[in-house]
Structure 1
């Protein structure tokens, strides 16, 4: 009988908890997973949008603040009672707030929120589902990070720093538990046409080759999950940027400084919704 870890993932019938599900990449992922036959439990703080999506997909819905561990625990318990054991926990919630001046200028509340949403929410999810997954010898944890967690996001040090930490935590999970049947993926997209980038209409990004629609990003993420890749790069070019950073760190830093200066000259400020159009 083949080792269960060698069997490629099939979404059909899988029970998935997805946080940050009500909009952007999260909503696109929910639709993609539903199309592939998954059974979904959708979580978000935006109750009206969450309700609309859950009704559309016939999914379980739970309003949830991912920074409160007791709420994550309650979500998992409800899913286990209502749907069954959790096969996949996809921690997707995230935000970007920028910074008003120098790299440490964002207020403490932004730094703390970035840590809680981008790191501790993943930790809480793992505490809630990992023991049962290890007992069964199977389970899948997927954590949304960012290309900023591998490279850097100019103009948002709190975002970049917390996303680096998210990548590190995903690596620790894979190292510690990969031999116990646990699958781990960390997703590191670059630019996706979501409200975070100022897109209410994802189609408005179509002329920009490096900006993916949420639907395309979700398809690429789901495809990579089926292959059980640890590092999921919806934008393949990020791998080249990583290699350049690793091989030539001084040159990479110099190039990033030049890019920052160019953006400041063009825009006068580091606004993510505008910067990506000039990258």
Structure 2
């Protein structure tokens, strides 16, 4: 899809990948609304030259208000980047509210946005939904239960959208990076939890940590070519192939990797 003169909404856009994607969209001539629960979204909007909306995009009313604001200020939404995300409980100890919050932000926010967008896109015969998942959704992430589970679910939902609505002119892409230099990743370096710190090391030692602007360039190329799976780290595809070719061997390898990380932390 050509993004010039299209209306795009980007969630989780106060910083990181979301802000970089919004910047890239604006540079290519799109009308952009940035959304985030953080008040920093207003600074991001001012810097990018985009409209800004502050609120909770994981709540049904929040998404409804966001889309209404975007349409009122910029016109009908053509592209929606479901980018907001959180880590969630690292293991089995998280309570119901923590798990619900992870599912609300990382999965249900995508479902709720699609529920409101898809009917209109079907009528217009065009629309583009971009889901930010993670390599953790194709593989897994050591030390991060909720993040791994919800990112798997996000990829599953994006696949379903593409299969179900692709013949209606609706395009879907799913972003699955490894380490990106964002507040989400940097927060793991100084986390109180051993599991959180181990999870951070698992990501940073698995491959190069990319800058958000580099990821945004890959995202834009994928949207323009209408490619479903966006892999800023090409090595993820090889890891995914290895997983599929011998699942038990891959699980044994991941357990070895987990032990290695634990041993290095002990020293």
| TM-score normalised by structure 1 residue count | 0.86
CA-CA distance at 1:268 after TM superposition: 4.2
SS at match of 2:262: helix
> Retained in 2: the 8 A contact 1:98–1:155?
no
Say yes or no: does 1:266 pair with 2:251.
Answer: no
Matched, 1:96 2:94: no
Instruction: Tell me the distance in 1 between the aligned counterparts of 2:11 and 2:226.
Output: 20
Structure 1 counterpart of 2:186: 198
Paired residue for 2:152? 164
Give the Cα separation in 1 of the matches to 2:141 and 2:266: 17
- The Cα shift of 1:71 comes to 1.4
Matched residue, 1:175: 163
CA shift for structure 1 position 209: 5.7
Out of 210-219 and 77-86, give the one that drifted further.
77-86
- Tell me whether 1:141 sits opposite 2:129 in the alignment: yes
Q: Which residue of 2 aligns with 1:153?
A: 141
State the Cα distance separating 1:107 from its structure 2 match: 2.8
**d(CA) in 2 for partners of 1:115, 1:268:** 32
CA change 1:118–1:209 in 2 (3 A) is closer
**Superposition deviation, residue 216 in structure 1:** 0.6
Gaps of 5+ in 1: 1-8, 200-205, 270-279
Pairs within 5 Å for 1:1-279: 9-47=1-39, 49-97=40-88, 99=90, 103-198=91-186, 210-268=208-266
Name the residue aligned to 2:192.
Answer: none
Tell me which protein shows more helix as a share of its residues: 2
In structure 2, the gaps of 5 or more residues are 188-203
Distance in 1 of aligned mates of 2:49 and 2:68? 19
Q: What SS does the corresponding residue of 1:239 show, helix, strand or coil?
A: helix
**Paired positions, count:** 252
| Alpha-carbon distance in structure 2 between the residues aligned to 1:235 and 1:171 | 20
CA RMSD of aligned residues (A): 1.9
What's the CA shift string for 1:155-200, capped at 9, x where partnerless?
001110011011111111111110010001111011101111117x
TM-score under structure 2 length normalisation: 0.90
Q: Aligned-pair distance for 1:92? A: 0.2
Q: Which runs of 4+ in 1 moved over 3 A?
A: 206-209
SS of 2:77's partner is coil
Q: How far apart, in 2, do the equivalents of 1:125 and 1:138 lie?
A: 16
